[in-house]
Structures are given as C-alpha cells and as structure tokens.
Structure 1
Amino acid sequence: MSSPWSRTSTWDDGGLTIGGRRAHELADRFGTPSYVLDVADLRSRCREVREAAERAGAEHGVPVAIYYASKAFSATAVLRWAHAEGLRVDTASLGELVTALRAGVPGEAIGLHGNNKSVEEIDTALAHGVGRLVIDSLPEIDLVAERARAAGVVAPVMVRVTTGVHAGGHEHIATAHEDQKFGLSLATGAAREAIDRILATPELHLLGLHSHIGSQILATDGFVTAARALLRLRAQVAAEGGVLLGELDLGGGFGVAYTPDDDAPPVPDVVAALVGEVAAAARELGTPVPALSFEPGRALVGPAVTTLYRVGTVKPVRLDDGGERVYVSVDGGMSDNIRTILYDAVYTAAIASRTSDAPPRLSRVVGKHCESGDIVVRDVMLPGDIGAGDLLAVPVTGAYGRSLASSYNQLPRPGVVAVGDGEPREIVRRETIDDLLALDLG
C-alpha cells in the first residue's frame, strides 16, 4: 500500500513535521486553514517521472516529454520548480498561460488546451511562441488559422481525439467518452476531418495527436487502448495522406493514494511501461515509433500538499443503527476542498499537533459552511479525545484543493505555505476579508 503523507512528513510525540517544520508551528505562524507544500516531495516527483520518461525514450529511440498539468495547482513558484526539474507546462486558460510565462517558462515549453479558447488566449499563445495549441473542435481550426495569419506565424497544433475509452473514477473526470464536451470523435470521423483540414491549412503545422481519457486512473489498460487507437489513425493518415504525424500525447490522469488503503502504482513506472507499450504497438503496425508526451498534474503536486485545520466544535451524533459518529468541525471545509462533495472523493485525516492513546471513534470531518454536504473526510477513525483547538491534517490536497477553492459564505481562501526549501513562506498569500470586499462595488 502507498502512504498518503508527503515524503518528508514524519510523526513523533510532538505530532506531524513536514519539511523539517512542526505542523503546530506552521499553523501558529501562518494560520489555518493552510495548504502546506512539501517542496522536496514535489521536486523529486517531477524529477523522477522526467528521468523515467527519458530512460524509456532512449531505450526505444524516441524523445519523451513530460508536461506539468497546471490545472491541478497553478502558482509561479510551483511552475518554476517543475520547469527547473525539466518539465514543460500544460495550460488551459489565459490565467494559467500568463502564470507560466511569469514563472519564466519559455513559450516553446508551454502547451495550451481548452474546448472554448478565446481570441485573447490564442493571440497570447502565438505572441509568446507556445510549443502547441491543442485543437478541440472543427470551428477552432479556422479561428486559430485566422489568428496565426494575423500574427504572421504558423501555429503548431495537435488534434485532441475522443477515442471512446472511458477511464478513471467519477463520471465528471472521465473525458474520452463520446457524450461530453472535449475533443473530436474518432468514431464519427470528426478527428480525421480535423486532421485533413489542418494539413490543408498553411497557417497550421500539425505536430500529432492528443488523447486524455480521464483522471485518478490506477491501471494502464485504458491508456494502452487509447494509444492503439491513435496509432491506427496515424497509420491510416500516413497510408492515405502521405503524412506521418510525429507525436502522440497520452495526457495525464495518473492516480494517487488518498488513504493508507489505496494502492497506486508509481507514476515513473507507469510512464516507462506506456512508452514500451506504444513502441511495441507502433512496430506491430509497421510504423516508426512516435515521439511521446504525458501530462501528469495530480500525481506530482497532489501528494506534496497537506491541509492543516484547527478543530472547533466536536459533536457525537447517534446513528439509526444504534451506533455513533463524531462530527469534527474544522475552520475550513468545502470552500478549500470541494472534491469530497463534487467527486465523492475519499480522504483520511490525523491529529497533527500531538499524539493520543485514546480509543479511536468513527468520525466525520466537516466544515463550517451552511451545507449538510460540507464534508472534508466522510469516514475516518480519530482519537476519542479530539477536541477544540487540536490541529488536524488532511493529506493529498495539492491537486484541485486551492485550484477549485471558493469564498463561499465569504470565507477567505487559505494561503499556500512552502516548506523544505529554506525558510517557510507563503507562495500564495492568504486571502482576507478586505480582499473579498475590495471586489464589492457597493
């Protein structure tokens, strides 16, 4: 089984330490809730997956690139660290694109996704020479060509292909079945039409094919099936159109362990295995092995972040079956981690400020919002003496915690504190009530 706690996290009589810093000291200094980022964890995961990709690519004679999917968590410091470890950056909005540029990531190392790209997003990408724009619809072909013509450049593009492969957990994070907004269908011929139109458009340069099949995927089968579908399409285009597309991007969605009971395969091993599977499949078709790229996000930053909360009200509740559940209320909730209610996500939690020998009791960690669904951890065994003032830690919150955070009930969003890279510091400032009111024009 995989540990859900970040790599430098340790426990002793004083509770939890992350990156050499006591959790209770971080909470006292920076407040709660706080997202605590283990810098060494993040950087080592980036480095390991890049090195595994490069080794596998060298074995099969093809380049393999890793893009950090910034939608998981986008901040200039995080993108700077990821790029310093040899990763490129995947973006899906103007804000993410500008954040990557501000972090010093060169345009050629940036990709731009999006099912509804604006003119401003396309123009900004072209102005900074992004390495790829991923075409997501037929109308977008004409739009990107028009903006490239206006800019006097040739736009490098990929076609996002909907392969029909459905993988991952919740239906809202499965992205390759037919009835959804992303990509161009392989089954209906839309993907092939897009390829033919792009090849006939001088303002566009088609780099290759892209696929993303879902999120929190714990097996490679879906990736392999999608890759084989892309390779068959690539071979067909080469045979009929005389153009051999140079690259396949298999997206991201690699799963991680959220609790001690989860068993998530190491992402470097998964990437290396997929490179081998694609190489074998390409050779079976009698085609050269394409260059490959992958877009992990959650798998890199998710386990590197732990959220610290302060406990408030503790309320035992009698259940219909005669049992009891303890509701442990914390000073955050669905505003800083909506994944539990949005995706039925499962987390764990532990007291971070002390140890306890008290018998564990079935508990539910809940927030302070005006919603009965305001649940952070649905079921977890916590010490029976947990009480107001205790510090509670919830691991694996780096992916989509801060990215999906809101100010519901006018709660300011937590800050992000980086540890293990010198003096602890906020890399994203804690929001204040004044920040919220600054947007209110009265």
Structure 2
Amino acid sequence: MYKKPVIEKIDTFASKVPSSPYKTQRIKKEIDGVDVYDLVKEFGSPLFVFSERDIENKYLEFKEAFSSRYPDVEFWWSYKTNYLGAICKVFHKLGSKAEVVSEFEYQKARHLGIDGKDIIFNGPYKSKEALEVAVKEGAKIHIDHWDEINDLEEIADKLGVNIPVAIRCNMNTGVYPLWSRFGFNIDNNEAYDAIKRIYEGKKLYLTGLHTHIGTFMLSADAYRVAAKKLTELKNRVEEEFGFNIEYLDLGGGFASKNRLKGVYQPPEVIVPTPDDYAIAITDTIYATNKGNLPKLYLETGRALIDEAGYLLTSVFASKRLPDGKVSYILDAGVNLLYTSFWYNFDIFLSKKYDDISELSILNGPLCMNIDVIADNIYLPPLNRGDVVTIAPVGAYNVTQWMQFIRYRPAVVLIDKNSNPHLIREKEDLEDIIKREIIPEYLK
C-alpha cells in the first residue's frame, strides 16, 4: 500500500536515547497466560487487569526482606493505593491488615470483615463521629494535629475510658520537597510537645509513633534518617513520661519499578530493592533503640500493587499531526490514568509489526488537549482495534480515576490458576444519574 512520504522532525529526547524502549517494540500477548484479545472480547475495552500472582510474589518479597531481619513485622495494606474489595481481600488473605485515611476507607475495611483492632486510622481529617466509632472498635488511631488531641480527650470523657493513641511525625530526611503537612515535626520539638500534652492530659496514652516521609522514595537512606529520629523520640518519651511504645510505624512510600518523568535511568538502576529499604530501617532501629524492641509496622502500598496492574486499551483511530507525529486515539485516557502526569509507562504491543516505527503520540478519547498517555514514542503503524497494554498502573489509578466524558471500565483479577474474574463491572448511565435529582419545575 502506498504511503505518502513525510518529513520527520528529529526529537531531541529520542535522538539522545537511541537504546530507549520507545524505539523498541515491546510485545505482550498475554497476562498470566490469558490472551489480551480474549480479555478484551469477554470484558470490553478499555480494561484494567490485575495479576494475583504478581501481587503475591511482590508481597512475599517484601515480607522476606523485613521479616528475615526483624523479629516482629506487620504489614498494613494502604487502602488509598487501591481499595477494590477483591484487591484488599488478596492482601488480607496474605496476612496484611488495613491502613485507612478516611471514614469512607474505614467503613470499607469493616465491610470487608476487618476488625477495628486490625485497622490503622490515619489522615488529617477524621470527624469526631468517626473517631468515636474507631475508639469503640479498638482501632489504632494516629493523631495528625492538635485539634485531634482535643477531640479524642472529649471522647475519652464521654466514654469514660483512657484511649491508646499514636502520633504521626514529620521530619527532614534530606529528601525534598519535605512532607511537612502531616503530623507533628520532630526537628523543632513539636512532636515532643504533642506527646507532653498527651501525657499531661491523662486521658490518652501513647503506644506508637508513626511517620510517612514521602511518596515514590528513591532513597533508602532517607528511611535510615527517619528510623533514627523516630527511635530516638521513642527512647526519650519512654524515659521521661514512662510510656511503653509498642510499635514504630515507618509508613510506606517505597517506589515501584515505574519510570518517573524527567528521570532517564531505568527503574532497575534507581529504584531501591526491598532489601535496601529493609536494611536501612531495621539496622537503624537496632543501633538506636533502648529498652524493649518495638514492633515494626509498614503501610506498604504502591510497591506491592503497581507492577501487578495493567490497562488494556484499543486503537480507535489515527491521524497525522502538523509536526509530523502520528497520533493514535485510544479508548483509555488520563481520566483512567491519573498517574500519567508523573510517569512514562511501559507501552506493549500485542504482536510484532514488520513496518518501520516512527515518532508517535498516544492520545486518549477525551475532548481535552492534555489527554496524552505517551508522547515521543516510536511505534509501527497500528490498526484500528489493535490492543495496547499499559503498565505498571496498579497503584492509585483505580482510586483516582474520574467519571469524566466516558464511563469507567470493568476491572478483572486473574487468579494464580490463570482464571480471569470480574471484580468491578463497567459503568453505565444508571450509575451516573442515580444520585441526581431534577427539581419538579424542570421536568
């Protein structure tokens, strides 16, 4: 077939990285033995797909890294990372408890059968009503600010109980920007002052210390700093106030093997391993701790689920843009991939193409100019209906996706025996309008 010749603009980024995967056809015909076209045929396109096998393998890798170095480690699944019921159930089945940051997530964990005592209740916004429920059900409440101390003391008076609590701490770990919004600062003694306030109030008692120093942390040494400061605070408040700190919670933030925009080294080079994180944290606690060795809690989310998630999307149309690039219009856009603003995803084709690749752009279906999934990507000529697999997309996309212009798609979990299971139905008009109310005068 004749193709009109074009003059291709040389892209600076692409020309400087000749070995980039953008110039290489990456092929993915199946996920855990299930053909991508069979998945699309049965469940529709676009389609989120999760691999139970990948989830379990990554969970066991992190569990081994920490449990082989520390005697008492507990994992608490971060619901905000992906709170689909089936995904949470997989992690709970593996032994992870629940970490939530809102009343909604707390209710979801309880709905899934998680006891209050197995829930960490984090977050800067906890209504007084939600706090009271959490107190009654024995949840681990991590205090974020001074007003929350006051709310809990009032609840303690109302219920006639002393309430066990933890506080969230922030600090300078040498990684910027600092996550200073959440909790009490250790470096300026605010965290110590909050603990002193708790001690003097005699209505709450401290059982844990928590920090979550950031997201997608590429420095294991930052966790070394965090563990040292948190353990030093533990030593101080145990000695001065007689509290028994049962656990240190080092939060999450561990990076997945995704590719941050603006970072050109591959994830295999710059992303610390589970062992790197584990060594930094556990060695530091051993070296710094005085008194009883605390339990170690980890709220691991992204690193456990991101690489287990895939998005299957189909080519709907193509056009050549004025700059010479080919634009492929997919049926999935940034409404489903919120994290596309931060990551250069891996793009997989469903088969090998013999045609010459040229500089292309993958656009979504939205009537918005920002709807770009991948730019400066070398692709062979794709046909309408061809399936493209985008990965890793398991973290935050399903919890942050938007019902905007198009319905949200179905989600499938492939079990360890390569059987696909529908775990969320695709939306239809009824899902969107059932909460709407039209006043009588407009009918």
Aligned equivalents of 1:349, 1:156: Cα separation in 2: 48
In the TM superposition, residue 235 of structure 1 has moved relative to its aligned partner by 2.5
Q: Which runs of 5+ in 2 are unaligned?
A: 1-25, 260-264, 439-443
In the other structure, the counterpart of 2:135 is: 126
In the TM superposition, residue 388 of structure 1 has moved relative to its aligned partner by 1.6
> 1:268-327: CA deviations, max 9, x gaps?
3134313432234315xx5554321111101111110100111112223243xxxx4322
| Residues 57 and 194 (structure 1), Cα distance of their counterparts in 2 relative to 1, 3 Å cut | same
The residue correspondences of 1:15-414 to structure 2 (distance < 5 A) are 15-58=28-71, 63-130=72-139, 132-165=140-173, 167=175, 176-178=178-180, 181-259=181-259, 261-263=266-268, 265=271, 267-283=273-289, 286-319=290-323, 324-341=324-341, 344-352=342-350, 354-382=351-379, 384-409=380-405, 411-414=406-409
Identity %: 27
In the TM superposition, residue 146 of structure 1 has moved relative to its aligned partner by 2.1
Q: Is the partner of 2:194 in helix, strand or coil?
A: helix
Aligned equivalents of 2:159, 2:131: Cα separation in 1: 10
> 1:376-396: CA deviations, max 9, x gaps?
2234332x2212211111011
The yes-or-no answer on 1:426 pairing with 2:422 is yes
Aligned equivalents of 1:51, 1:101: Cα separation in 2: 28
What TM-score, normalized by structure 1, do the two folds share? 0.85
Aligned equivalents of 1:101, 1:244: Cα separation in 2: 28
Q: Which runs of 5+ in 1 are unaligned?
A: 1-10
> 1:137-159: CA deviations, max 9, x gaps?
01101112322443454433211
Aligned equivalents of 1:71, 1:126: Cα separation in 2: 21
**Aligned AA (1:291):** K
Considering only CA atoms, is the larger Rg found in Structure 1 or Structure 2?
2
**Aligned AA (2:357):** P
Aligned equivalents of 2:79, 2:359: Cα separation in 1: 36
> 1:7-54: CA deviations, max 9, x gaps?
xxxx97xx5211221111111111111110101111222233223322
In the TM superposition, residue 193 of structure 1 has moved relative to its aligned partner by 1.5
> 1:38-86: CA deviations, max 9, x gaps?
011112222332233222113xxxx121111111100221111111111
Aligned length: 406
> 1:326-371: CA deviations, max 9, x gaps?
2221112111011223xx322121223x332222222222212122
Q: Is the partner of 1:116 in helix, strand or coil?
A: coil
Aligned equivalents of 1:155, 1:433: Cα separation in 2: 46
